[in-house]
Amino acid sequence: MRNTFPLFNSFYRIAKSLALVGVACCVSLVQAQQPKPTLGQGVPGQSSVQPAVAIPAAPQLAATGFILIDGTTGEVLAEHNPDQRLPPASLTKMMSSYLVVDEIERGRIAPGNLVNISVKAWKMDGSRMYVKEGTQATVIDLLRGVIVQSGNDATVALAEYVGGNEDAFVDMMNKRAAVLGMKDTHFQNSSGMPAEDHYSTARDLARLGRAIINDHPSHYGLYAEKVFIYNNIRQPNRNLLLYRDPTVDGLKTGHTDEAGFCLVASSKRENTRLIAVVMGTKSDEARATETQKLLAYGFRYFETVDLYKGSSQITKARIWSGKAPEVSLGLAHNVRLTLPRGRIDALRANVHLQENIKAPITVGQALGSLSVELDGKVISDEPLVALTAVEQASLFERTWDSIKLFFRNLFS
């Protein structure tokens, strides 16, 4: 019986040591869960943190419908009747030009390809590029004729070239609208000429404008061109804001008696890009003025901030039964947010990790999340993923880790 107690004491000392190891592991895990003290780690009460400021309502515009969005994040900053179905007039050509540029960038057609001008294209009414039936024009010239001159003839010529005929091209337009999430849009032609069941909304057109900018950045410069000369005919871009505001670099105007005067405009100042859509104003001047009001409001009260870069380490997580004791965690993509101007230092970031993470771990595997709060409200919640792989350890190391994990959970 005397030998029993030393044995028991030895076992107790071993258990106690393992428990301390478990507690230490627990402490290290808690430390790993602390967010990286970078962007958005302002401390309450410090003078660097700007207090919440009430943002005034968006200006009232003399327009049937409008919307203002952050072109980077897509967040809506102001709106009025954004989902009302309205005739888009030549804003329709944004989809036509989007599809043509998409064909170019996919290598299916080339900018220098020659396009035959049909009788139908030549006879188109309204704004024109003044191409002639029986002649040829390059894809890039016709594209400028669509974007800068808003030529109905150029639009139909490209529609026939890309789709085989205009009806087939219009079918492509509607299918792409569905892919882009333009739920309240339906096209009947490629140019925007008045037609029954031809409609769109301010929200859908903002979504299309964002796609033009983000999907085809190498061709977006075409929308900022102020003049295009073809057949010795000089025609200016009808977007007056291109001449009044150097930060405006697109996109498209539209006008018919039914639609009124419409404009989709985009402007970039520093790190913030805004897209404004104004529909159903009374004049060329009115659509420019009302759009300016909307952009001024957006830049005055909001900004786009880059919080975290994708594939950069945010924190580390303890790994059990692995060849490495921990793994670096980050985000799968860049995190950008639209914030009230000047509030970046008021952000709070919180890391949430899964419990008892065990190997093997693969690159990109979600092991937790990173949430960002502003004034107590979660404004972003993104998965934290493994930036490196961790292979499973040997049987002995896995067994030892299992023992440590058992006592850690027991005493934590």
CATH code of the domain covering residue 250? 3.40.710.10
pLDDT tens digits for range 177-210:
999 999 999 999 999 999 999 999 999 999 999 9
The answer to whether 226 is a known catalytic residue is no
Domain boundary among 301, 320, 347: 301
Residue 363 CA to residue 386 CA, distance in Å, equals 5
Taking the model in full, what pTM does it have?
Answer: 0.84
In a domain, 136, yes or no: yes
Percent of the chain with pLDDT over 70: 85
Residues 237 and 379 occupy one common structural domain: no
Residue 127 CA to residue 154 CA, distance in Å, equals 10
Cβ-based burial of 311 (10 A; exposed 0-12, middle 13-18, buried ≥19): middle
Residues 313 and 292 occupy one common structural domain: no
Whether the CA torsion 61, 63, 69, 74 is positive or negative: it is positive
User: pLDDT grade, residue 321 (50/70/90)?
Assistant: confident
**What tokens appear for 112 in the block?**
């220098």
Percent of the chain with pLDDT over 90: 77
Residues 27 and 95 occupy one common structural domain: no
CB 302 within 8 A of CB 70: yes
The answer to whether 90 is a known catalytic residue is yes
Query: In Å, how far from its chain's centre is CA 241?
Result: 24
Domain boundary among 257, 280, 301: 301
Q: Which of 90, 97, 267, 369 is catalytic?
A: 90
**What is the number of domains present in the chain?**
2
Residues 249 and 320 occupy one common structural domain: no
Which one has a higher pLDDT value, 338 or 16?
Answer: 338
Domain boundary among 301, 332, 350: 301
Whether the CA torsion 124, 128, 129, 130 is positive or negative: it is positive
The answer to whether 323 is a known catalytic residue is no
Q: Which of 96, 118, 127, 150 is catalytic?
A: 150
Residue 24 CA to residue 305 CA, distance in Å, equals 38
Residues 330 and 406 occupy one common structural domain: yes
In a domain, 54, yes or no: no
Residues 89 and 219 occupy one common structural domain: yes
In 282-324, the DSSP E strands lie at: 302-308, 313-318
Residues 297 and 366 occupy one common structural domain: no
Residues 208 and 239 occupy one common structural domain: yes
Q: Which of 93, 252, 293, 316 is catalytic?
A: 93
Mean pLDDT computed over 71-95: 98
Domain around 378: 4-48+309-411
